[in-house]
Every structure is written in structure tokens, then in C-alpha cells.
Structure 1
Amino acid sequence: MIQKRSIGFAAAAIIAGAATTAICFGDALGLARSAATDSEATAAAPIGTTSHPIEVLQGKPWLVPVADGTKALGGKVVVVNFWTYSCINSLRALPYLRAWNARYGTKGLQVIGVHAPEFAFEKDPARVRLAMNQLDVRYPNLRDNDYAVWRAFANQGWPGFYFIDATGKVRGYQLGEGKYDEAEQLIRKLLTETGADVSDIPLIPVEAGGIEAQADWADLRSPEAYIGYDKAANFTSPGGFGKDTARTYASAATLSLNQWDLAGRWSVGGEHATLNGGPGAIRFRFHARDVHLVLGGAADGRPVRFRVTIDGRAPGSNHGTDVDAAGWGEVKEDRLYQLVRQPGAIADRTVTVEFSRPGVRAYVFTFG
């Protein structure tokens, strides 16, 4: 996801004719962070955004519908959030969306999620509903598999936020993470315009933990790294990719920062790599507090065990939420898995993920 200079990482959307291609990649190294102005943090709507945003939401397939239907949104302040459930940037925004929904729901605010998938497995409504339940996303959400709502809003990334006043006009747009305090101030302003009194709601900092904790931006040196060949970079296994065919890969002699490799028999496709014969492994040389990997389960539905090591050793206190101190975890659902969370000093390290049997799919490394 591109790092917008003022608000962290976001995904770029390239719109060519009627087609929309969502590109999710990191550029933590190439773009410097800078102080944001108010206009940069919550800007005007992008050029091409619909002038009738509430109408665009009508008649769409809903994962969780709006109580009393979308016509009930008339006269309300609405925050529309574009997200996808395997995207770490989207996940780190959820605590704020939940907090706004809880604080201001009785004052006339409605938070609405628009789930626009990046990967094919995220198009399955059953998987999305399961993820929403696990992530405690209770506010209304619609399914935007064809990106029709995305295009109508001229959205530019995950997470994207649109702030709509009670007359149905888009009054603000924010792309990417950060500046949530300014976004909440805008929400309060729009509610006050309707006559609502929000003075009794204190501005309390939102606490985020686990996988939703905000990134350690000051010590993040690793961008997102896709495993599928369409967007892959810095792959170092000898011989490179054998596209769309099963072949045996070997680890590189060494890995420099942000390089990665495969070991074992894998089939690398445009979107992901599938382990064809176990055991198999994937390594990445990273510099970040957190390491995540989007993984998909085996076709037979049985969990796939994996083990994570850091510089060849069990993670211990550096383990993520989806592995134990010995490094063991298992792939049960298609989603993002947190492998590493380092509470101490951050340095260049190598994470290795070893899988016990074939069938697992690996999509993208993300960091925090």
C-alpha cells in the first residue's frame, strides 16, 4: 500500500475504462513521512466522486443491512469506509470505526463499510461474514465485489473514508491510516450542524491492541511483499519463478533486507503461491516490529500446521497473535496471520515459515 506522505499506507486504485485494478503495495522506503496540514488529513472528495453517495448504496448486496433500509440514512451523518478483511491497513482502522459508531450512533451517525476485495477468496460472502464476526464488525456492510461502489465514489485505496453530511453531500475524504482525531472532529462538526449536541461525549483516545495496534512507523523499513508473480519483487530463489507450474525451489545463499525466497515444491501463480509437496518454507529478511502473512487453507479443509522462526530460533516473547512462543500455528481460514510482534529492539532479522503439508496458499507479507 502506497505510503501517503501524511497518513501512512494506502492502496492505489488504477481505473482504466470500466476496469478497476486494486494495487496494494508498500513504499515505506521511497516516501518520507511529513507533517500533515488539515487539508491533507481530511481532504475534499476526489474528482469524479458521485454527488449522490447515499443513492449509490441502494440496491447493493448487503452483508449486514442498514436497519430499516438505506432510505433511513436520509438526514443522518454517514461515514463510508472502503476496506478488505485481509488488509492490515484496513484492520488497524477498525478500532476507530467501532468507537465512532458506538459514541455517536445515538446522535445521528451511521458507519457503513464497503467491502471491496483484493484477493479472490475475499469475494466469498461466507468468508467475509466469518471475518466480520471474528473482527467484531457489527455496523452495516455491503459487498462490492465488482468495484461498482468504489468507482462511483472514485475511491483511491484501502482504507478510504468518506464523510457525508445530513444533506447527502460528501464533506470530507481521507485515504489511509492516521489523523483519526481530525476525522472525529469533522464527524462532531457534521452532527452539530444537524442540531445534535455532542458536548457530552468526551474525546477519549481509542485503545487498539493485538493485530489492530497501530504500526511502529518510526522503525518500519519493510514494504509489503507479494508472493504471486504479478506484483512480486526481490525474489531470490535460484532460477527465479516458474510461472503457473509446479517446481522445486531452493533457498538463496543469503538474504539482504526485504529479499525473500521459497524452499520446497511450489506452484507460483499471479496472485499467490501454493505448496504442492510438503514440507515447504518461505523466508523474508525484514525490519519491522510486526510481520504478517496472508494465507489460505488447503482444499481438503483440514488445518495446515506451520512453524515460525526468527533468525533460526523460536520467537519466544516475539511471537505474534497467531503463533505460540515456540512458533507453532495453523492455517484454518483464509485471512491475515500475525507471525511476529517484537516488544523490544528492532533490527534486520529473517523470518522463516515452514509448512507441514501441501495445500497452503501464500499471498503477501505485510509489516507494522
Structure 2
Amino acid sequence: MSLLIVAYMAGVLTILSPCILPVLPFVFARAGRPFVSSTLPMLGGMAMTFAAVATLAAVGGRWAIHVNEYGRYAAIALLALFGVTLISSRAASFLTAPIVSLGNRLLNAGGRPGEGEPSGKSLVLGVATGLLWAPCAGPVLGLVLTGAALQGANAQTSLLLLSYSAGAATSLAVALFIGGRVFAAMKQSLGVGEWVRRGLGVAVLTGVGAIAWGLDTGVLARLSISSTTTIEQLLLDRFKSGTAASSGKVAANSMSLAADDARQGFRSGLPVEGHFPALDGAVEWLNSPPLTREQLRGKVVLIDFWTYSCINCIRTVPYVRAWAEKYKEQGLVVIGVHSPEFAFEKNVDNVKQAVKDFKIDYPVAIDNDFKIWRAFQNSYWPAHYFIDAKGQVRHHHFGEGDYLKSEKVVQDLLAEAGRDEAKKTTVRPDVSGAEAAPDFANIRSSETYIGYQRASNFISPEGLKADVAENYSKAKPNLNEWGLTGVWTVGPDRGTLNQPGGSVTYRFSARDLHLVLGPSANGDPVRFQVTIDGKPPGESHGADVDRYGIGTVKQTRLYQLVRQKGEVLERTFEVRFLDAGVEAFVFTFG
């Protein structure tokens, strides 16, 4: 029940997200209409559509992605027509006559002859708006979909999604109520109702234009990361801490520890978030025999959840590695918990090679079955949990960054444990390639999956075909659109090239472009060549290609293919494979 409330509150906060902006004109266009027959059906249609589309995404399936893709096109067309009807009364009469006629027949059949716009039209508009609104989601939705992916979609998943969408519909209803009062005052005092209606029509068409150009899931969606994600993250943190506090055992131990701290001299002020969960369930340990929490009693422990092809994890590795080296003599034990996102990351040999490549010498638990992940109730890559010498979780951090605070936590916990010699300086890792910090100021492209379960913005004329070989033809992408050429078979999480000469094209704007690639199924290397705007990259080549764009896929991992020198501009990237069999998984940017 608590998580349902959190999901609902996160949905309410969606109104603060800039990627909702193109949707608001469709809601405000309902101002001044009867709530039961107009507003309520529209909001209900939005909520139901969002929950349905998101549930399909959670369950997966080859046809789910097409429902969302073609539904989006239909919604754009429908809402464009709606905008025209607001601007022109003549167009409204012509275009809506069939809908009004059908609605009146339905109402008359039910014994309730209606006047004006039928609720059926509002419901249809709500369904269309919901298809456009579905991409505006934050960490709560990510948590639900991650849980569905790890444990399988179930009734709870759908309830959480419905709670999220109901919260968003609630906030939009409030906005509509306020907007309705404003519009009513404007009509009464100024007598410009017709111009208000036309203004709404212009706003609707402007919103449709923004959506058609991809602003709702592109620029505005990226803006929403900085506005609502932080608030939703706080809700999630509060839920997790509240769950821990609801356990009588944890509460009792916390009181005892507080008394111990008072006697021994408490210094850090870090709260107790819960017990150190068990480390049982790893299929194998690297760089160490299996460790238990009992063995680690008296040590300060940093648990780092990561997976080796995740760009955010890769960028945190230099810091975690530096902390492990710097503080190991003072009593810090770093444990990397490798929980795979893709199937190839479950291959222990792949993980061993990654550990070697990243020069990781601290213990790594291979958590292929996500048992440690679930014990910590974790939901993110990367995630850091800081555990004191008494076996209590004292701090956590999700995602990359905030390294100074994280290191300060390590120093404080070591000091609490009586390690006053812990060095108070902070590490400054020497990083290069994909490990270098991202250029956030210039990132306008976001993570893009090639497998059909999570693919978006695909533009090859043939459309993305699931689990069948298809000869794709070239198309010219706009920003954040991508396409294939050549014969590919696209599976749930990857695309596989069947014949030499195929390519992947992406129109991006960021300093760095990465692509997770793997060699052929039999392990044969795959040669490739990268171009930027049709030319070799030159000084803008990534760490895994030369200035001519030449490279080879020898193992399944993240490859840095572009690092723009000088001014970061919008570019068209293409990678052409000279051999068959390559597997392409996901684009990331930095």
C-alpha cells in the first residue's frame, strides 16, 4: 500500500515536468465544459491509456512497441484535427459531425438525449492524449518496470502503473479546474470567448507541432530530468527508509546503536538506514573467496552495484577503484556486485575480462540471479551503499557523481570506527576514454535501445520488425532518430546483422557517442568504420576507433566511437560493419 501511495504522489508531481507542456493545451481546451460528461471521460481515457501502454512495456512482446509507435502517429493526427476545430467553427462542424452524430445516437439510445459535445469524444481525446503523455515518466515508473523485468509483470505492476497515472490525472484535473476559473473570468469580463477558443486551437496545434518534432520526448523530456526526478527520488528514499523503520527489529537495534554512539562519541551525524543485508546468492566471486556480513563485522564496507556495459557505471569505476586502494589499510572493504542488465553480462568470462580491463582488484560478486540486488531492495545502476563497522547501512547514493560527498562518508565512517588516521584529502582519478566525466552542458541525446522491447525513434521505412530478418533501407534522421541499413534481425534486446555491409545511423548531439556491441555468435571479430556527417571522424574519433574511423568488435562491451573536439554540434553518425554477425544493443552519450 505504501508503494502505491508513493506511485500516486509521483504521478501528481508529473504536472511539474516540462515534457507535459505539449499536453496541457488539450486539457485546458476542456475548460468551461461539464465535468462529468467532458472532463472526467478525458482524464479517465488518459489514465487508462497510460497504464495500458506502460503495462505492455513492462510485459514486453514484439507487438507492444508497435502499439505505442502507431498509436502515437494516430494521436498526433487526431489532436491536430481537434486544434483545427477550435480555430474554425466551420471546420469543427464538418470534421466532428460523424463523432457528434454517433455520440448523440448513443446518448439517445441510453434514454439521455444530450446537448453539445458527447462524452465519447472526450474519452477518445483522452485516449489520444494518454498515448502522447506516456513517455513522461520518472524514477517511480523506472522502478516499476525494472521490477517487472526482474520478477515478471504481475497484478501489482499494473496497480502501481495505474496509481501513477491516476496521480497525474489528478494534478491535471486540478490544473483544469484552475484554468477553467481563469477562462471563465476572461469570457465574462472581456467578452472574447471566440478568441479564447481560437487561442486554444493555436496552442493545441503548437503542442502537436512540438510533439511531431519530438520535443515532448527529446528536449522537454531531458529538462524534466532536472525538475521532477529529484522530488521523485526523495519520495522513493522516504519510502525505503520508512519501510526499514517499520520493522520492529531495525527500530530496536537503532535505539541500541544510538546509545552506543552516545557513549563512544558519535561524529558523523549519518542516520541509520537499516541492517547490512546478506551477501548470499552470488553465482561466483572474483578477486576473493565468498564474503559474508559476519566476516566483515568491524570493517567499513562500500557496496557498488554495477554492470560492465553501463556507461554510468563505467564513469564511477575510477572513483570506486581509487577509494578501495586509498582506504584499504584503514579498514575499508569495497565489494562490487555485478548485476547484469543484458544476457551477455551474465557470462562470467565476459565479466572477468571487464574486471581485468577496468583494473578492478577488489572483490566482485557475480549476482546473475539478482539475489543480492533484491536483498538490498535496489533499483539502480550504479548504486552505492555505505555500511559502518557495526553492520548498519548509513548512507546510499544512486547514479554517478557526488563523489566528494561519498568520499566524505567513507572518511566519517572510518573515523567512527576509530581509524583517525584516515586521510582527509580526496581522490582525483586520472581518467580517459569512456571513463571520463560526461559533458552534461552539451548532452541533447539520451540512451537509445536497439532491441524492439525498448526501441524508440526508429525511422527506417520498413518499420522495426521483431525476430525476423528484414532488409532495411536508409532514411535521413532528425535529431535523436536512428535507422538501419542492410539485413538485420532485431530481437528483444539487440539487433543482429545477417550480411556484411549493414549499418546503423543516428542523428545525435553530445560530446561522446557510445554503442554497446558484440562480435558474431561464434566469436569471430567484426570490422567496422565510423563516419560523422559522411566523413572520417579525424580528431573527433572515440577511444575505440582511429582517426579514420576504423575499429574492430572483439568482445561484447561498450565502445566509445565519437568524442567531438572543440564545439559540440548536432551530427549524423554512421557505423558500417564490414563483416556479418555483429550484435548492437544500446546507444549512450556523454
TM-score, scaled to structure 2: 0.56
Q: In structure 2, do the counterparts of structure 1 residues 36 and 183 end up closer, same or farther at CA, with 3 Å as the change threshold?
A: farther
Match of 1:120 in 2: 343
Secondary structure of the structure 2 residue equivalent to 1:151 = helix
Q: Which runs of 5+ in 2 are unaligned?
A: 1-16, 18-137, 154-216, 251-273
Match of 2:131 in 1: none
Secondary structure of the structure 2 residue equivalent to 1:96 = helix
Q: In structure 2, do the counterparts of structure 1 residues 53 and 240 end up closer, same or farther at CA, with 3 Å as the change threshold?
A: farther
Taking the TM superposition and a 5 Å limit, the aligned residue runs for 1:77-88 are: 77-88=300-311
Match of 1:313 in 2: 535
Is residue 2:257 matched to residue 1:63? no
Secondary structure of the structure 2 residue equivalent to 1:57 = coil
Of residues 401, 417, 422, the one that matches 1:178 is: 401
Counterparts of 1:346 and 1:93, CA distance in 2: 23
Of residues 27, 32, 37, the one that matches 2:226 is: 32
Asked if structure 1 preserves the Cα contact closer than 8 Å seen for 2:415 and 2:422, the reply is no
Taking the TM superposition and a 5 Å limit, the aligned residue runs for 1:1-368 are: 12-13=142-143, 14-16=146-148, 19=151, 28-32=222-226, 46-47=240-241, 54=276, 56-58=278-280, 60-66=282-288, 69-70=291-292, 71-198=294-421, 200-252=423-475, 254-368=476-590
Q: Which runs of 5+ in 1 are unaligned?
A: none
Counterparts of 1:111 and 1:166, CA distance in 2: 13
Counterparts of 1:290 and 1:17, CA distance in 2: 29
CA shift for structure 1 position 233: 0.4
Counterparts of 1:301 and 1:18, CA distance in 2: 28
Secondary structure of the structure 2 residue equivalent to 1:95 = helix
**1:141-168 residue CA offsets vs partner (Å, 9 max, x unmatched):** 1011111111111112100000011111
**1:154-201 residue CA offsets vs partner (Å, 9 max, x unmatched):** 112100000011111111110001111001111111110000024545
Counterparts of 2:321 and 2:358, CA distance in 1: 10
Secondary structure of the structure 1 residue equivalent to 2:312 = helix
Counterparts of 1:329 and 1:16, CA distance in 2: 37
**1:26-71 residue CA offsets vs partner (Å, 9 max, x unmatched):** 963532279989x97xx78935579676551145333315468434
Secondary structure of the structure 2 residue equivalent to 1:270 = coil
Asked if structure 2 preserves the Cα contact closer than 8 Å seen for 1:82 and 1:116, the reply is yes
Counterparts of 2:228 and 2:411, CA distance in 1: 26
Counterparts of 1:233 and 1:358, CA distance in 2: 24
Q: In structure 2, do the counterparts of structure 1 residues 244 and 116 end up closer, same or farther at CA, with 3 Å as the change threshold?
A: same
Counterparts of 2:469 and 2:438, CA distance in 1: 36
Counterparts of 1:264 and 1:356, CA distance in 2: 11
Counterparts of 1:35 and 1:258, CA distance in 2: 21
Asked if structure 1 preserves the Cα contact closer than 8 Å seen for 2:539 and 2:565, the reply is yes
Letter in 1 for 2:485: A
**1:271-290 residue CA offsets vs partner (Å, 9 max, x unmatched):** 10000111100000000000
Asked if structure 2 preserves the Cα contact closer than 8 Å seen for 1:46 and 1:173, the reply is no
Q: In structure 2, do the counterparts of structure 1 residues 251 and 44 end up closer, same or farther at CA, with 3 Å as the change threshold?
A: same
Counterparts of 1:101 and 1:44, CA distance in 2: 29
Counterparts of 1:249 and 1:228, CA distance in 2: 15
Counterparts of 1:283 and 1:35, CA distance in 2: 30
Counterparts of 1:68 and 1:260, CA distance in 2: 44
Q: In structure 2, do the counterparts of structure 1 residues 17 and 312 end up closer, same or farther at CA, with 3 Å as the change threshold?
A: closer
**1:259-313 residue CA offsets vs partner (Å, 9 max, x unmatched):** 0000000001111000011110000000000000000111232210000000000
Query: Could you tell me the percent identity over the aligned residues?
Result: 45
Asked if structure 1 preserves the Cα contact closer than 8 Å seen for 2:459 and 2:481, the reply is yes
Letter in 2 for 1:19: Q
CA shift for structure 1 position 211: 1.4
Q: In structure 2, do the counterparts of structure 1 residues 34 and 196 end up closer, same or farther at CA, with 3 Å as the change threshold?
A: farther
Secondary structure of the structure 1 residue equivalent to 2:560 = strand
Q: In structure 2, do the counterparts of structure 1 residues 267 and 29 end up closer, same or farther at CA, with 3 Å as the change threshold?
A: farther
* Structure of greater Rg: 2
Letter in 2 for 1:32: S
Q: In structure 2, do the counterparts of structure 1 residues 115 and 138 end up closer, same or farther at CA, with 3 Å as the change threshold?
A: same
Counterparts of 1:225 and 1:287, CA distance in 2: 13
Counterparts of 1:18 and 1:337, CA distance in 2: 26
Q: In structure 2, do the counterparts of structure 1 residues 114 and 272 end up closer, same or farther at CA, with 3 Å as the change threshold?
A: same
Bigger shift: residues 197-206 or 356-365 = 197-206
Letter in 1 for 2:222: A
Counterparts of 1:353 and 1:318, CA distance in 2: 14
**1:305-335 residue CA offsets vs partner (Å, 9 max, x unmatched):** 0000000000000000100000000000011
CA shift for structure 1 position 358: 1.1
CA shift for structure 1 position 112: 0.5
Asked if structure 2 preserves the Cα contact closer than 8 Å seen for 1:84 and 1:116, the reply is yes
Secondary structure of the structure 1 residue equivalent to 2:282 = coil
Secondary structure of the structure 2 residue equivalent to 1:150 = helix
- CA RMSD in angstroms comes to 2.8
CA shift for structure 1 position 138: 1.0
Q: In structure 2, do the counterparts of structure 1 residues 137 and 175 end up closer, same or farther at CA, with 3 Å as the change threshold?
A: same
CA shift for structure 1 position 360: 0.4
Q: In structure 2, do the counterparts of structure 1 residues 61 and 53 end up closer, same or farther at CA, with 3 Å as the change threshold?
A: farther
Bigger shift: residues 231-240 or 142-151 = 142-151
